[in-house]
Structure 1
Amino acid sequence: MRQPNLFSLSRKEGWRRFVDAPPRRRPEPLTRARIAALSAEAAEDYNDSRDDWHANFGVVQTPQLAAVHAELEQIVASNRQDGDRIRSAAVIDALPGLGKTTTANLYGRDFDRKQMRRLGPVTEAGHERIPVFRVGLTSNTTLRTLNRMICEFYGHPATNRANAATLASHALDCVLSCETQLGIIDDVHFIDLDRRDGLAVSNHLKWLANELPVTFVYVGVGLAERRFFADGLTGKNVVLAQTARRWTRLEVASFRLDTDQGRRHWRSLIKATERQLVLADHQPGMLVDLAAYLFERTTGHIGSYFTLLMRGCYRAIRTGTEALTRDLLDGIRLDEASEQARKQLTAALAHGHLTVKM
């Protein structure tokens, strides 16, 4: 039985496990007869391996992910300014459940792998090379906690008692010593620009961008609506905001059924994921036949889509159904946003206002 792969991407050790992990091995698809012939212990282990696979079978290269990665590649590749110049930053801004964090992490992983391949694991000065750092903000992030989180990622020993300014200096030392080139800061929507602490953290992000010779990739929900690019300013003061001039906003869209291209992308996603299923009775095309139903259940949000499939595979295995059918999926409850939107989508699909047909 495989042990849980527990780690945190907010520590360099966890990030390295994420970056260096080999592709998972897909369990061998077995027929019902072969599954029935397994001993109780062997069947339990086989089902456990299938649960693990369905929860982690890899990344589907969606058009949204490919588009954002292409933009990030352009931004990072053009940020080769010397240390006295300001680098532009990227911000992935979208609604929940559209894969923002996954998109940023996967780009960071690819970037890290390329840097390690080209430059090696040790710098010329003999320090550990850490091409990427990644932290996630909390609802009560302050200047000190932000600096501490960056230092904790690197494992800096002086993080408990130091003040905000000292921690900022330590963070700069870590970035320079480890020759870090990319910094991912997730959940920036937790910064409340209506609070004094929130404005201080927002301003500190600009200081970090000025002082740390890295390209920053920020990830957040509804940042434009929160006036984040206006630095919380209003009226004539908006022209004084720096964020809108320094950050390139990248959106992640949900899947849509109101265009031929949107319908084609949705069906391609289903085909790609269907090939990964390890269920005894599931045949190619069974999931594609449910394309309209799957959109109705998930409103085109990839996070909800994969949650439905993962829970459906678990239930298909445990109930002996060994296939994803509409009856089985109907018994699975999803996030509340999907459940609430389902009624409207059901009506639109039933009256032909939306369709998955080409």
Structure 2
Amino acid sequence: MTTAPRVRRQQPALDNLTLSRKEGWFAFANSPILSTPERLTQTELTNLSDDQLAKYNARRRHWHANLGPIKTPQLVGLHEDLWDIVDSNLQSGDKPKSAVAVDGFPGLGKTTAALAFARDFHAREIAEYGHTTAEGHERIPVCRVGLTGNTGMLDFNRAMLGYFGHPGISRGTAAQLAHRVLDCVLSCETRLLMIDDLHFLRWGNSQSVEISNHFKYIANEFPVTIMYIGVGLAAKGLFSEGESYQDAVIAQTGRRTTRLTMDSFDIKTRSARQCWRQLLLTLEKRIVLAGSYPGMLADELSDYLYARSTGHIGSLMTLINRGCQRAVRTGAECLSKDLLDSVKNDAAAEKARRELESAMTNGKITTRVGTT
């Protein structure tokens, strides 16, 4: 009995857990840009052998699952602000570094945009200063830590030590672990600390005050820019003054933190609709389906895709990715309303879909650029 040939992956599969280790980060930061699979016609697809078709479809699955990040106006604006803050934090060691918080609703591409920036920052640091420090240590420009709902100082310091692969992760007080982390940061010349999922912390209890004080310690003593990423940080009180002692302590973190956000796509003005259309045109160029054609998204499905995604790029990319996977798997080789209607999207987008579709059907709103 013969078995189907194995398909070799072009690069390791990455997830959020691998990014919590420096090896995973380097794999992400140094991974080559994916090459676009050759666009074949329906006839050329039919002429492929079973083995050739399996390998071609495997490449397309991987490609469509990694269409981003796309340089939308929101992403470009966020990156410009981040460069301003990171580059301005080259003060002398006696001055605390300003932090930045990327805040906003889910599905706006915050983490994707932040990771893209950190990857560019990593590349710039390596290009300018080399892969090793003057003392011969591995240069690790970026450290990324993901939080959980019960993260305390000890857990946070352990997570940072785990990222660097330090052997002293299992023993010591929070203060001792913090000193080991500082040694890692100084030895590896780390300059950017990403703290993801900050919204998981329960602001207002003693543990959150403890962590907030720890963040201030890092800002004062570590030569790094802290980048917080989270959902609804302003609503949780990170940037408010508050009245209680706990609120005041947390608000002090906000005083040193610049809040940045990313907006969803709007269609109220002609220029805003033009941005939406440009996004769809960019996606059209990246989609590799035998039956795709100019205007497949930007002309035929513009209103539909906006209603299905509510203008959130995360929901849009999920829908396009899943639609392309189904189009390849079923042989449809094209994205259409009928095909996408059979594809499920995230719950938040689906909940708001009907209201938007009704407004578009009644002519109250539209994504068409030609309207005023």
Shorter-chain TM range is over 0.9
Match of 1:6 in 2: 13
Matched, 1:307 2:314: no
Matched, 1:88 2:95: no
One of 327, 334, 352 as aligned partner of 2:345 = 334
Q: Contact 1:91–1:249 (CA<8 Å) still a contact in 2?
A: yes
Matched, 1:261 2:271: yes
Residue 235 of structure 1 and its aligned partner are, at CA, apart by 6.3
Q: Could you give the per-residue CA deviations for residues 81-131 of structure 1, whole angstroms, max 9, x where no partner exists?
A: 111110101110010011111111111110110110010011111111111
Q: Identify unmatched segments of 5+ residues in structure 2.
A: 1-6
Match of 1:162 in 2: 172
Residue 33 of structure 1 and its aligned partner are, at CA, apart by 1.5
Matched, 1:234 2:250: no
Query: Partners in 2 of 1:159 and 1:200 — Cα distance?
Result: 20
Match of 2:120 in 1: 110
Match of 1:294 in 2: 305
Match of 1:196 in 2: 206
TM-score using structure 2 length? 0.93
Matched, 1:343 2:354: yes
Matched, 1:180 2:190: yes
Match of 1:16 in 2: 26
* One-letter code aligned to 1:288: A
Query: Partners in 2 of 1:123 and 1:236 — Cα distance?
Result: 42
Match of 1:43 in 2: 53
Instruction: Give 4+ residue runs of structure 1 displaced > 2 Å after superposition.
Output: 233-241
Q: Contact 2:42–2:290 (CA<8 Å) still a contact in 1?
A: yes
Residue 228 of structure 1 and its aligned partner are, at CA, apart by 1.6
Moved more, 322-331 or 195-204: 195-204
Residue 161 of structure 1 and its aligned partner are, at CA, apart by 2.2
Match of 2:181 in 1: 171
Q: Could you give the per-residue CA deviations for residues 236-256 of structure 1, whole angstroms, max 9, x where no partner exists?
A: 986663123200000110011
Query: Partners in 2 of 1:187 and 1:165 — Cα distance?
Result: 23
Q: Contact 1:192–1:199 (CA<8 Å) still a contact in 2?
A: no
Name the Cα RMSD after superposition: 1.5
SS of aligned partner of 1:9: helix
Q: Contact 1:55–1:310 (CA<8 Å) still a contact in 2?
A: yes
Matched, 1:209 2:219: yes
* One-letter code aligned to 1:234: E
Q: Could you give the per-residue CA deviations for residues 286-313 of structure 1, whole angstroms, max 9, x where no partner exists?
A: 1112111000000011111011011100
Matched, 1:317 2:317: no
Q: Identity rate of aligned residues, in percent?
A: 47
Moved more, 196-205 or 321-330: 196-205
Q: Contact 2:149–2:200 (CA<8 Å) still a contact in 1?
A: yes
* One-letter code aligned to 1:162: G
Q: Identify unmatched segments of 5+ residues in structure 1.
A: none
TM-score using structure 1 length? 0.96
SS of aligned partner of 2:167: coil
